[in-house]
Amino acid sequence: MSKIGFIGAGNMAEAIIKCIIDTHIFRPEDIIIADVRKERLDELTDKYNISFTTNCKLAKAVDILVLSIKPQNMIAVLNEIKGSINSDTIIVTIAAGITTDKICKTLGFDSVIRVMPNTPALIGQGTSVLYATAAAKERLAEVEHIFQAVGYVTTVEDEKLLDAVTAVSGSGPAYFFLLMEEMIKAGVKLGLDKQLAERTVLVTARGAAMLAIERLKAGEKVDVLRQKVTSPNGTTEAALKVFAKYNFEQMVSDALAAAEKRSEELSGS
């Protein structure tokens, strides 16, 4: 069986480790981690019965190398490990804003897959969008299988689309969290106690998402679902008129455009 290693042992790395063990894609003895935080290494090795080592030793020992480090630390780590990677290794990066071209040029290595996951991966409900360099495409299915363990997976042929993906799904959970946060506050202002407001908002959000996913299978889009909830001259229409008054549609469009622009700036594209 192949071995997989994670340089960087943050929350996303842990989410992937947990899911690939739970789904039996990898055995604990075939998973290695490295991190600058000794207490974090101790925590994860105790929790999942995996092993840890240094960055360079890890790079030599695995045939799937996941770079799950912070973007600002990427170049330093790449320079550290560039003489240690086996020629048949596939490199997977989940660091936002670091292009495959930058990784390939720094390492002198051309088999790289870039992944933009999002935080619902922490509960196996993530969205991951992949881009593979030409040299990495023969192992794309293998990497897709890994990320299917943490949720929905799709692949793009143009790496520049990952900036839009970052704006929509990478940052997307924060937009929904913000809406839920403000709905909870509004519910409290209307007289609900905090616990009831939180519970009703979160369960409503979950139910709406699940209904939208289920109905999409039958070709029913979210705009149709919205219309079905909106009775003429009813309560929902009253609320939606306020959203329209403040140009909610343009606000969302502008917000996602700003996120995409910032992703482009970070990646230098």
Count the neighbouring beta carbons within 10 Å of the beta carbon of residue 267. 20
User: Token pair for residue 216?
Assistant: 């999409």
- pTM, whole model, 2 decimals? 0.90
Q: How confident is the model at residue 264 (pLDDT cuts 50, 70, 90)?
A: confident
Q: How confident is the model at residue 269 (pLDDT cuts 50, 70, 90)?
A: low
Instruction: Kindly report, residue by residue over 89-135, the tens digit of the pLDDT.
Output: 999 999 888 999 999 999 999 999 999 999 999 999 999 999 999 99
State the Cα–Cα distance between residues 40 and 28, nearest whole angstrom: 17
The pLDDT value given to residue 182:
98
CATH superfamily, domain 4-157, is: NAD(P)-binding Rossmann-like Domain (3.40.50.720)
Instruction: Kindly report, residue by residue over 65-76, the tens digit of the pLDDT.
Output: 999 998 889 999
CATH code for the part of the protein at 172-267: 1.10.3730.10
State the Cα–Cα distance between residues 51 and 48, nearest whole angstrom: 9
Q: How confident is the model at residue 148 (pLDDT cuts 50, 70, 90)?
A: very high
Instruction: Kindly report, residue by residue over 210-256, the tens digit of the pLDDT.
Output: 999 999 999 999 999 999 999 999 999 999 999 999 999 999 999 99
Grouping H, G, I as helix, E, B as strand and the rest as coil, residue 52 is strand
Average pLDDT over residues 258-267: 88
Average pLDDT over residues 22-40: 96
Contact 117, 126 (CB under 8 A): yes
**What one-letter code names the amino acid at 47?**
K
Domain parsing of the chain, residue ranges: 4-157, 172-267
Q: Alpha helices, DSSP H only, in 190-234?
A: 194-216, 222-229
State the Cα–Cα distance between residues 228 and 110, nearest whole angstrom: 50
Contact 90, 105 (CB under 8 A): no
Q: How confident is the model at residue 1 (pLDDT cuts 50, 70, 90)?
A: low
Mean pLDDT score of the chain: 95
User: Token pair for residue 23?
Assistant: 């789904």
